[in-house]
Amino acid sequence: MAKEKVVLAYSGGLDTSIIIPWLKENYDYDVIAVCGDVGQGKETDGLEERAKKAGASKLYIEDLRDEYVSDFIFPTLKAGAIYEGKYLLGTSHARPIIARRLVEIAKEEGAVAICHGATGKGNDQVRFELTIKALAPELKIIAPWRIWDIKSREDAVDYAEAHNIDVPVTKKDLYSRDRNIWHISHEGMDLEDPANEPQLDSLLKLGVSPEKAPDKPTYVTIGFEQGVPVSVDGKKMDPRPLVEKLNELGGKNGIGIADIVEDRLVGMKSRGVYETPGGTILYAAIQELEFLCLDRDTQAFKRQAAIKFAELVYDGKWYTPLREALSAMVDSMEETVTGEVKLKLYKGCVTPAGTKSPYSLYNEDIASFGDSHELYSHKDSEGFINLFGLPLKVRAMMNKKFKK
């Protein structure tokens, strides 16, 4: 009789490497490992050999990079979504696309369960499982960190050594990292104490610290069409190469390093250092273009909606009616967000250096200090202010009446 199958979200890291033999020991499953490539780079090298050596019967390496940028990163960028004012959601919006592919392969393979290596204290367990529940509620979910006897990353290393499993960490370097085309996060070890300054020169992977960035600024011009980045320095580029190019420019100039103490969905605070060089540049650029192209009310409401959009993404609620509705609204708002934004990159800072758009709402004739345009007269201001200030005047009259 054939064994039942389980699909494992496999990265080749410490946790998912030891999960393979653990699943075989405790469930006697046929383990099918699935690695969703969302831009981990060389981390996918040699994964097939390592997965099969650990006991997996099969490994899928699914290239999701283009779809990840186009269908997850850019809609979040257009929404202006930033979690708690600092986090550009690099891990958050990668999980739904990976989980969706896990579901698809589980159905193709006839698997009865999906397993992930997210911890019981983290956000990723929620992101994986909400996506699975939304797309395949019939599948069983296994989360080893919530049920096994392993209590720490040190214990996990011991388990790997006892089972002769090759893992890419040692007890001297136990940072928990997540990397994709958008960012890399660093957590654990000395970063667990918020009082410790991050040792950036030894920590960073995508770029340099601002102190080590060039003494001469770099200028870059980004073109947008309806809120979607389409060019760098006048050269049309597909979404993935565009992000990769900006990661390179940003990394060289010390852009996009964020030291964050964030509120996890499960209720605790956690501290991490995030590198998002290209993303930081894009968020700065689209904001400048929106200043030029969106009216005041639209901008104000979009900023409010961005907070909710960020919370939905952070909380793993990508496949929900509200997130889809917000994306539809944002698409409508961004119809005129087309143009070019020039930025100056210098030692960790991104500074606007000029913006232009055929849909610009800025009218120099109206905005100038002169009285040269028929649409606006300085004399009109008196009546406007009288009406605008009428409630204040009435209240002051009332106060004067009852003042002793």
List residues forming the annotated binding site for L-aspartate.
119, 123-124
**What type of residue is 138?**
E
296 is catalytic: no
Which member of 65, 95, 100, 179 is catalytic? 95
Bridge partners (DSSP) of residue 272 are 187, 260
Nearest to 281 by CA among 329, 245, 333: 245
Which member of 37, 101, 176, 323 is catalytic? 176
Which member of 15, 30, 37, 178 is catalytic? 15
Residues annotated within a binding site for L-citrulline: 87, 92, 123, 127, 176, 185, 262, 274
Q: What's the rounded Cα separation, in Å, for the pair 154 and 167?
A: 12
Could you tell me the two tokens for 68? 């990840």
Query: Quick check: 14 and 161 in contact, CB under 8 A?
Result: no
In this structure, is the dihedral angle defined by the CA atoms of residues 389, 394, 399 and 400, taken in order, positive or negative? positive
15 is catalytic: yes
Sheet-wide strand order for 218-225: 235-236, 228-232, 218-225, 339-346, 349-356
Q: Do β-strands 257-263 and 140-142 pair in parallel, antiparallel, or remain unpaired?
A: unpaired
For the chain, how many residues are written?
Answer: 404
Which member of 100, 124, 179, 271 is catalytic? 124
In this structure, is the dihedral angle defined by the CA atoms of residues 166, 168, 173 and 176, taken in order, positive or negative? negative
C-alpha of 209 from chain center = 21
Residues annotated within a binding site for ATP: 9-17, 117
What residues act catalytically? 15, 95, 124, 176
